[in-house]
A and B are shown apart, each in its own frame.
Chain A
């Protein structure tokens, strides 16, 4: 295992459609994070899992967004009824204990 992987790498969808992204963390990492990054900005924290438990959620995470991490391994981020403002890069990161986090390559979402 060489790092965090994300799928798909790119997604184009029409406004109002639902989309789901997957993140596979580094295998021994128990902590998993989702971020959103728009052009010219740094990543913005969305949510955090420790094992399978979702322990923190940002106020940025509206009720159209839901994330899961069944069995504490991979995670999914779903956006329902997408809006043009959801267009961004969605980044996943994983971390073990007090080590710092390692990022995946991201999923670039474009909502038309």
Chain B
């Protein structure tokens, strides 16, 4: 079993929909949680960064962390075709520098 799991998709939604992306993980030592967006043939771009549990909102994006369930989510409101990309979750323990990434979910927002 991989440390971080994500549904690979593809996930297709109409423009304006609310998108829910999720990751589960097995290691309770993870304390830092991140979401990245990656366009085809580009490097990942940071979207959201949270420490420990709770919610964080930034514009159309909301990140949630539920450490008791080892489950994190990213919500995208009013989705746009420009949101079409692969979304990667990433996690890190308090110690060490090994950021562990999920395999990514490919999202298509249809106009």
Taking beta carbons and an 8 Å cutoff, which residues of A are in contact with B? 4, 31, 33, 40-45, 48, 55-56, 58, 91, 93, 100-106, 108
Contact = CB atoms under 8 A, between A and B. Distances in A.
A104 B97 contact: no
Contacts of B18: none
Nearest to A38: B103
B101 A44 contact: yes
Contact of B98 (A58, A100, A103): A58
Contacts of B97: 31, 33, 45, 48, 55-56
Interface of B: 4, 6, 8, 32, 34, 36, 41-46, 49, 88, 90, 96-104
B102 A42 contact: yes
9 contacts: A31-B97, A42-B6, A44-B101, A45-B99, A93-B43, A102-B46, A103-B43, A103-B44, A106-B43
A31 B36 CA distance: 19
B96 A56 contact: yes
A43 B96 contact: no
